[in-house]
Structure 1
Amino acid sequence: MSDHEVLRAAQRHTGVRAAHERPLSGEATVVTLRDGREVVVKHGPGPGAAVAEASGLRWLAEHGDVPIPEVHGADDDWLVIDYIPRGRPTVEAAETFGRGLAALHLRQAPAFGSAPPGGRTDAWIGHARMRNEPHDDWPSFYARCRVEPYVRQAVDRGLFSAGEAAVFDEVCGRLPALAGAGEPPSRLHGDAWSGNVHWGADDRVWLLDPAAHGGHRETDLAMLRLFGTPLLDHVLGAYREAAEDLGRPLAPCDEQRVPLHQLFPLLVHTVLFGGGYASKARSAAHAALRAPG
């Protein structure tokens, strides 16, 4: 992508001429507009990705539970959102974020696997394709749309042997018992690893880069644990208190189900990056089978 294309996308979706740009990370660029505002211009990794991300951001922002960057526009290739200057982690921000995330999850979704309004059935998580297909129950959705497709890809690429993949088949077969108490579908960020938990200069925690869908709230919480979110104990402690105050505490033994919910991101990383993620995914599957339902 050229600098000219980036500036033109910023102007098209904001209605304001672009002054200059600077790299941010990956396929994202910060553009300063003529009126002094700064926006982020992102090039989607594939067809429909920018529109899918825009719909997810709007859906998550609907009730103001957690700070979400404003979407200025999206098209087949480009997404334009507000730029949020970076700050530092604080306990107060972490606890406010935990409470807000609990409220966001209680907004619920039409079904497990449902896409955000205006979203896509064929969506993306990072640079991997992800299918949002409504299901009546979480175990069926998780097996069919979040585990099995990535195991098949990994086997096809030689990352798992057929014997190594058998543990994932066992997990999927036992999911109704492993999943814990049933609960309604939550409105999920869907890719809440530490890199998408943005500590803003305004002393608030912002959520970026969603793979939003209707799912199980423990999935977002497990993702927060995966790559070292700062002040995580404060985030989760405030989440638990808020969930109880809102009348929907987490089901018993939720921490023992963390490996089950981490299977999805670990399998995605296996498909994208290979290496040690394949063994981490297998280890998570074995741990999931040992955990009580």
Structure 2
Amino acid sequence: MTGGRDPAGAPGAAGRTAARVAALTGEPVPAAEPLGGGDVCDAYRVAGEAGRTYAAKTLPAPPPGFFEAEAAGLRMLRETGTVAVPEVRAVQQDLLVLEWAEPGAPTAAQAERLGRELAALHTAPAPAFGTPGRRCYLGTVELPAPDRPPAGWPAFHAEHRLLPLLRAAVDAGTLGPGDARDVERVCAELDRLAGPPQPPAVIHGDLWSGNVLWGRERPWLIDPAAQGGHPETDLALLELFGCPHLDRLLAAYAEVRPLPGRAGRVPLHQLQHLLVHAVLFGGGYGARCGAAARAALR
């Protein structure tokens, strides 16, 4: 969402960002080039005179700990040693400065590599479901971070993901009573719907296709909501809005880490993000939440 922000292309905004990056990195920065595509933040390519290039994200008056949460998520993913993520160069309340990843074009080879890397990522254990002790955001929606989350994924996902988002969507007036009842049924039956038990694994948490950066040599992951979660959530999100060479990616993943019955659980794992979209954007997302809930119940 862009309401209340300087347009990314405004010379004043770009100039202020370049000056701040220069101060934080200690490197002269002549200019910042606006980048498109963001729904929440303004993004810039910032080239320093010493030859280093940075990515900078800004958001005036962000939610508490917004960029700190993203930086922590990037570090969580990096520490697994399985996927490529930009290194954090600096973080402030309204600014995040990252290593620049040069974009390229998506290829089948890169998709297969990402499938194998995600399979490796999802073998990395997390200490608990969620992010105990730190904040986590999907868009600008803060996800609960209980100090003692339930040990089982169904209870955690119902109590600390689906039900809080359901209440927020109902309060926003974007989810009708019938659709809300179907989401409540999913929560009540999650033990039955969840499939085999899953201990907390490190996941990206917001892995729609726009958060895959196809680089010149390898794929990178950006903009995470990294947490202890269920690996099938990452895969279901790649299917939510489409992803280049998705069939090759999923096949490569399955060769390393088979997940019997996963296809039938895709609507269940998409429901959380559809609820977030209903909260933030309204429109037809409320009806899509109901449809996903009913598909999960089948």
Task: Tell whether the structures are fold-level matches, with TM greater than 0.5.
Answer: yes
Partner of 1:223: 237
1:214 paired with 2:222, answer no
Instruction: After TM superposition, list the pairs within 5 Å mapping 1:60-75 onto structure 2.
Output: 60-75=77-92
1:10 to 14, 18, 21: 21
The alpha carbon displacement at 1:273 in A equals 0.8
Residue 278 (structure 1) aligns with: 286
Aligned match of 2:9:
none
Q: Deviations over 1:40-90 (max 9, x none)?
A: 111244221111101111110113311111111212111100122221111
Q: Which residue of 2 aligns with 1:41?
A: 56
Contact 2:203 2:226 in 1 (8 A): yes
Partner of 1:110: 127
Structure 1 residue identity aligned to 2:137: W
Answer whether contact 1:194 1:227 (CA < 8 A) is retained: yes
CA distance in 1, matches of 2:14, 2:244: 34
SS at match of 1:131: coil
Paired AA for residue 17 in structure 2:
V
How much is the aligned-residue C-alpha RMSD, in angstroms? 1.5
Q: State the SS of the aligned residue for 1:86.
A: coil
* Residues 1:181 and 2:189 are matched in the alignment: no
What TM-score, normalized to structure 2? 0.89
Please state if 1:85 is matched with 2:99.
no
Amino acid at match of 1:14: T
Aligned to 1:136: 151
Secondary structure of the residue that 2:277 maps to in structure 1? helix
Structure 2: state its 5+ residue gaps.
1-5, 7-12
Report the Cα offset of residue 120 of structure 1.
Answer: 2.1
- Return the TM-score normalized by structure 1: 0.91
Equivalent AA in structure 1 for residue 48 of structure 2: L
CA apart distance, 1:4: 4.1
Aligned equivalents of 2:99, 2:278: Cα separation in 1 = 32
- Compared CA separation, residues 13 and 107, structure 1 to 2 (3 A): farther
Identity %: 48
Q: Does 1:235 align with 2:246?
A: no
Q: For residues 129 and 216 of structure 1, do their structure 2 counterparts lie closer, same or farther at Cα, with a shift above 3 Å needed?
A: same
Task: Quote the offset at 1:217 in angstroms.
Answer: 0.3
**1:205 Cα shift?**
0.8
Quote the residue 2:161 is aligned against.
Answer: 146
1:101 to 1:13, Cα distance in 2 relative to 1, 3 A: farther
SS in structure 1 opposite 2:30? strand
- Greater mean deviation of Cα atoms: 51-60 or 151-160: 151-160
Q: Which runs of 5+ in 1 are unaligned?
A: 244-248
Q: Which amino acid aligns with 1:84?
A: A
Structure 1 219/185 Cα, relative in aligned 2: closer, same or farther at 3 Å?
Answer: same
Give the match's secondary structure for 2:101: coil
Name the counterpart of 2:172: 157
